[in-house]
């Protein structure tokens, strides 16, 4: 089964964020060689329920599904859907 990727850049293009079924990522294209961070969805409180991504204008935060991340992929807010609590 193929998994579609959803990605977008912050409005000032400092970061590119994205999600697929098994991970979320953040990419900083302005580092010396570029800097890619990947976080598997299996170690999140709850996996993003839907493949929608949106970012703040300055790129410091982004939403992947119902979860709010900072650009280092730390979950800042988001809920655990009923029945999926660990």
11-24: average pLDDT: 81
Does 35 score more than 80 pLDDT? yes
The whole-number pLDDT of residue 25 equals 87
Cα–Cα distance, 20 to 3 (Å, whole number): 6
Domain ranges of the chain: 6-77
Does 5 score more than 50 pLDDT? yes
Does this model's pTM top 0.95?
no
71-79: average pLDDT: 83
CB 51 within 8 A of CB 66: no
């Amino acid at each position: 089964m193929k998994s579609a990727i959803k990605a977008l850049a912050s409005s000032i293009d400092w970061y590119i964020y994205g999600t697929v079924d098994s991970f979320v990522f953040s990419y900083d294209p302005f580092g010396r060689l570029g800097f890619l961070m990947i976080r598997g969805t299996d170690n999140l409180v709850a996996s993003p329920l839907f493949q929608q991504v949106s970012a703040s204008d300055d790129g410091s935060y982004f939403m992947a599904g119902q979860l709010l991340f900072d650009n280092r992929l730390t979950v800042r807010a988001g809920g655990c859907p009923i029945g999926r609590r660990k």
